[in-house]
A and B are shown apart, each in its own frame.
Chain A
Amino acid sequence: MQSDYVFRHKHLLSMEDLSVQDISFILQTAESFKEISTRAIKKVPTLRGKTVINLFFEPSTRTRLSFEVAAKRLSADTFNISASTSSATKGETLVDTARNLEAMHPDIIILRHSSSGSPDLLTHHLQSSVVNAGDGTHEHPSQGLLDLMTVKEGKGGFAGLKIAIIGDIAHSRVAHSDIIGFTKMGAEVFVCGPATMIPPYLEQFGAKVCRSVQDAVADADVVMALRIQRERQLDPLIPSLREYASFFGVNEKLLNLAKPDALIMHPGPINRGVEIDPGVADGPRSVILDQVTNGVAIRMAILYLLMGGD
């Protein structure tokens, strides 16, 4: 790592905002933090006295918990606000909520929201750092970073890798962050899914859109299945889950086309038997649980770097 590199971001809003150097530095920092989670006393005083608020307008157990564990391992004080307890249901706007939180002087606000661009909106009204924990169908950068970390661990790097992402690309903020992140780091990303789930101009991120799932998976180093995001679709984009499973489900037969040592990934939670066969999800090549473990390390790195590191 170049000695003159400094992480200069106040917020983490998208993978798009991060340079190759930024991403390498976050991954490197996360690797050094990973060990903390294996200690008997899983806590360092790094962010003691800092206040981290998890502001979640969408239900999410795993991302919220991952951020909370990360913050606590760094000794920050954490507070969770979810939509049901917030004033959003009483008509308070996101900007009002932000202003009220600001009055309590938090250091970091982690926002999960169903509207794309909502973390960007928050930054216009807050002094604190804002972390995007998933905004609409835009991005989910911390998930993207943990996916990068997992692939780096499994494959040693990114250059020349073929990564296949299968499923609902249009409604997957994870897919957006992943496509941007992997291509930025030198891998090739092939995507495939029902055409109703492929957004226009995907090539602008460097993704290659395949018509057949076999083309996408052939000789792949990584195969990632995405969750069907029924809750984000206005109307059904596929005739049935059964048809989806038989044409786009990741199963052993399909994986025979991939490299023998291909990593199997899924951002979770899994619809077993739909996007991915249970046997594949739990099989020897699956790194789905490593993704979860790495999530904590990545989020520790993000919180640490946004607070100025050191």
Chain B
Amino acid sequence: MLLQNGRVIDPSSGLDGQADILVVGGRVKAVGTVKERDLPPGCKTYDLGGLWVTPGLIDMHVHLREPGEEYKETIASGTMAAAAGGFTAVACMPNTSPINDSQGVTSLILARAVGASARVYPVGSISKGAKGEELAEFGEMKTAGVVALSDDGVPVVNSQLFKRALEYSGNYDLLLISHSEEIFLSRGGAMNDGSVSTRLGLRGIPSAAESIAVYRDIALAEYTGRPVHIAHVSTGEAVDLIRRAKSKGCRVTAETAPHYFTLTDQDVGNYNTNAKMNPPLRSEKDRLEMIRGLQDGTIDAIATDHAPHSRLEKDKEFDQAANGIIGLETSLPLSLELVRVGIIDPVRLIELMSVNPARILGVEGGTLKEGCIADITVIDPEKKFVFAAEGIRSKSRNSPFIDRELTGKAVMTILGGRITHSELA
């Protein structure tokens, strides 16, 4: 296929300008001006004037719920949502049922992902059963196909075990992704500790629950010389700690999610369980610090922490409702908002949503260089749409953004040369 006249934004090759992309055999054959006579016979041509053509977006933090909770999401439905949101690859966290703590579960996930609408990169658990007691079989899981390790959903409370995990992960060159939370501070908490939690009479989670844990993770990464990736950063203090660690040369990377730079704890309103997540929505000050971290490079990636839950888990008393929201289909428009208001430029956006996630996880993608896999996202930055419950590809509907008008959308998603989503006529 030939993608013509688009604005090609590829930070990996320093390209930002109008160009054609020729895809042959699932790979990028040529970037630049493609002449008619170079086209293979029967080549489909798409005129993408006015649209952005970028490396396929990669979401390094999603929950696909399969195996175990297929009523919330399956690998098939989750990757369809990914494709609709412009993603060509997702990394799925291990807190399924059973937990992905062994090669058997990893293999099952990868078998189910064959033919899915996005590449699926399983993340294995750090500890057996994510119980924080014994190391899981990193080597076996790596052989089966995990790209990183995390006990996401819960922190590794035991610092000794986390240090050993950092050390041992070095044998297999696997990245540790940390869900950083000091659980004695957050225990029983339903939302951010602040004026809203006091007003609603809900137990609060202080921001220090995050920063204390982030500092521990950084200290151990520094001590062991191993890289650590901090998941879903939500507080200004954590951004500050990561910034300082990076300036000292510590191998730390970080992600945040669109809700942390778009919403605050005020959005909990009157017990809106679609604004309940862990870490919780924080203060306006934290939100602004998150944006600063995205701007100055402290935060490397935008991930969604896509966490599907059915109505059963959300239509409940606030303190008993499940944590998390879906995010794959709103991540791009919410992130594009940062571009529209001039906080970041399109190149930085693609770094955050494609180049850096690929680099951090060590997976293919994140580039449009000739010869690379043809994972491509076509974005209409001006397209307005209402995020309606009926159109959602995910099996779940737990989003605080439902019925919001959003601007900017993936209008075509290409996975290895195959179109997985298209809104082009």
Contact = CB atoms under 8 A, between A and B. Distances in A.
B188 A117 contact: no
Contacts, number: 70
Nearest to B202: A116
A66 B266 CA distance: 35
Contact of A200 (B187, B195, B200, B320): B195
A95 B315 contact: yes
Interface stretch (A135-143, A220-228, A280-288, A293-301): A135-143
A176 B201 contact: yes
A200 B319 CA distance: 19
Contacts of A201: 194-195, 198-199
B198 A117 contact: no
B214 to A, nearest CB: 21
A215 interface: no
Nearest to A116: B201
Contacts of A121: 271, 315-318
Given A117-B200, A117-B202, A136 B319 contact: yes
Contacts of B247: none
Give the interface residue-count category, chain B: 20 to 34
A199 B203 CA distance: 10
A204 to B, nearest CB: 5
Contact of B317 (A118, A139, A176, A234): A118
Interface residues of A, number: 25
A187 to B, nearest CB: 20
A234 B412 CA distance: 51
Nearest to B198: A199
Contacts of B199: 16, 201, 204-205
A176 B188 CA distance: 20
Contacts of B204: 199-200
Nearest to B187: A234
A113 interface: yes
B318 A117 contact: yes
A139 B312 CA distance: 26
A115 B273 CA distance: 13
A94 interface: yes
Interface of A: 16, 93-95, 113, 115-118, 120-121, 135-139, 173, 176, 199-202, 204-205, 234
Given A93-B312, A136-B201, A138-B200, 20 more contacts: A16-B199, A95-B316, A115-B317, A115-B320, A116-B200, A116-B201, A116-B317, A117-B318, A120-B270, A120-B271, A121-B271, A136-B202, A138-B201, A200-B194, A200-B198, A201-B198, A202-B198, A205-B199, A234-B188, A234-B203
25 contacts: A16-B199, A93-B312, A94-B317, A95-B316, A115-B319, A115-B320, A116-B271, A116-B317, A117-B200, A117-B270, A117-B271, A117-B318, A121-B271, A121-B316, A136-B202, A137-B202, A138-B200, A138-B201, A138-B202, A173-B201, A200-B195, A200-B198, A201-B198, A201-B199, A204-B199
Interface of B: 187-188, 193-195, 197-204, 270-271, 312, 315-320
Q: Across the A-B interface, give the 8 residue pairs with the lowest CB-CB distance, nearest first.
A: A138-B201, A115-B317, A117-B271, A201-B195, A116-B201, A137-B201, A199-B198, A117-B318
